[in-house]
Copies of this chain bind each other. A is one copy, B any other.
Amino acid sequence: MAVRDAVVEKTIMALLDGRKYKTLKEMLATMNPADIAAVFEKLDRERIPILFRLLPKETAADAFAELDPATQETLIVGFSDTELREVVSELFVDDAADLVEEMPANVVKRILAQADPQKRREINEILRYPENSAGSIMTTEYISLHPDETVAQAIERIRKTGVNKETIYTCYVTEGRKLVGTVSVKDLLLTRDDDAPVSSIMDGNVISVGTLTDQEEVAQTLSRYNFLAMPVVDTDGRMVGIVTFDDAMDVIEEETTEDIEIMAGITPSEKTYLRSNALDLFKHRIPWLMLLMVSATFTSMIITGFESALAAQVVLTAFIPMLMDTGGNSGSQASVTIIRALSLGELEFRDLPGVVWKEIQTAVLCGVALAALCFLKIMTIDRLLLGNSAITPMTAFVVCTTMAVTVLIAKVVGCTLPMCAKKVGFDPAVMASPFITTIVDALSLLVYFGITSALLFR
């Protein structure tokens, strides 16, 4: 894919340089809107309008919808009113609403001025809903049928009105705007009785989401039921729009990236990596780094408290990184697993006792195995091979016991915190590695020095 992209890109640049517009036009006519958009993203600003004017009309709107906001703005600024009207009229309502949301006020004014009154009303409708809600990502273009229509009438209606609808394959049966059933084009086509009423073949057991449902839940529900589109209804059960599967796939990708970023201690960003500059990256990364650095004050306080013990037996210091890292890794294994299960809807708060019990069992298995291996490692590699005679079996025992206890604490903290965060309405992803590591560090040091004091310095 990528290699082909690079070749296409080079060819287009060369054709642009040589002003071979006819060839370019023919070439662009064979290309898919997503591929065309990818080429646009790599063009110099001044060449974008030239290339755009060479696109076939239908492709132009589809490619436009796939562009990133900066490129869209460049284009709109260069558009004549006629050009703008053409693009806006070809855009699906949800894409038009996205556009209006991203553009600066003066550009928005021009866009709305060029939209026909019907479209303008629909765009404003979508913009009324809070960000990330079903209402804000839905499109108001869908096919609605009446339960008393016959199959033949329904097919005829689709053939007449379908051209502007984002998906025609699932039709929504409404009665007084209330959603009472769905019927697929497949069922319509495969029904041999043209005179049967739509109500006789529709699926009356409707699954829908509310306008305020979170977009992530919308996408997951659609994926669960393998729907082509998810109907969105208002609080009175009246049909207001649909969210199509391709938008749901984008939502899933976006939300997953956000989860992964938060888990790594990064404030989520809407820009892709290549489009972010160093300052953007800095702004999204520094808050957690600062917070975590300052919270490391606890670990230094603990170490300072045991200064004399450490001064007497410096060998104890050598194992601090290993203990802290093993604790951190154990904890993040648990927290990341739980966070993913929560975001896939596999776990709920009521599962907490079972989860904790399972993590305790796992921790005991891991702790014992690690402690045994660690003892072996310390006595052979560290003591014999590296000849560190300060290491006694007692030291090794203290380190290994600490390790087992740390793993236990880490796993329990790692599974409990994300579930509690979810319960009180925080994003569980915040409770991932960096956060867990900081807590587990402090706890593992306390355990270490506690056991050391009890066994080595009696």
Contacts and interface: CB of A to CB of B under 8 A. Distances in A.
A320 B30 CA distance: 60
A56 to B, nearest CB: 12
Interface residues of A, number: 121
B365 A282 contact: yes
Given A266-B337, A332-B265, A307 B314 contact: yes
Please give the count of copies of this chain that the complex contains. Answer: 2
A217 interface: yes
Contacts of A340: 257, 260-261
A34 interface: yes
Contact of A190 (B163, B207, B248): B163
Interface of A: 1-2, 30-32, 34, 155, 158-159, 162-163, 168-169, 185-186, 189-190, 192, 205, 207, 217, 221, 223-226, 228, 245-246, 248-250, 252-253, 256-257, 260-261, 263-266, 272-274, 276-279, 281-282, 285-286, 288-290, 292-294, 296-297, 299-301, 303-304, 307, 310-311, 314-315, 317-322, 324-326, 328-330, 332-333, 336-338, 340-341, 344-348, 351, 354-355, 358-359, 361-362, 365-366, 369-370, 373-374, 377, 381-382, 386, 388, 403, 407, 433-434, 437-438, 441, 445
A166 B354 CA distance: 39
Contacts of A286: 365-366, 369-370
A16 to B, nearest CB: 21
**Residue from A169, A205, A325, A403 having most chain B Cβ neighbours under 10 A:** A325
A120 to B, nearest CB: 26
Given A189-B162, A333-B264, A300 B318 contact: yes
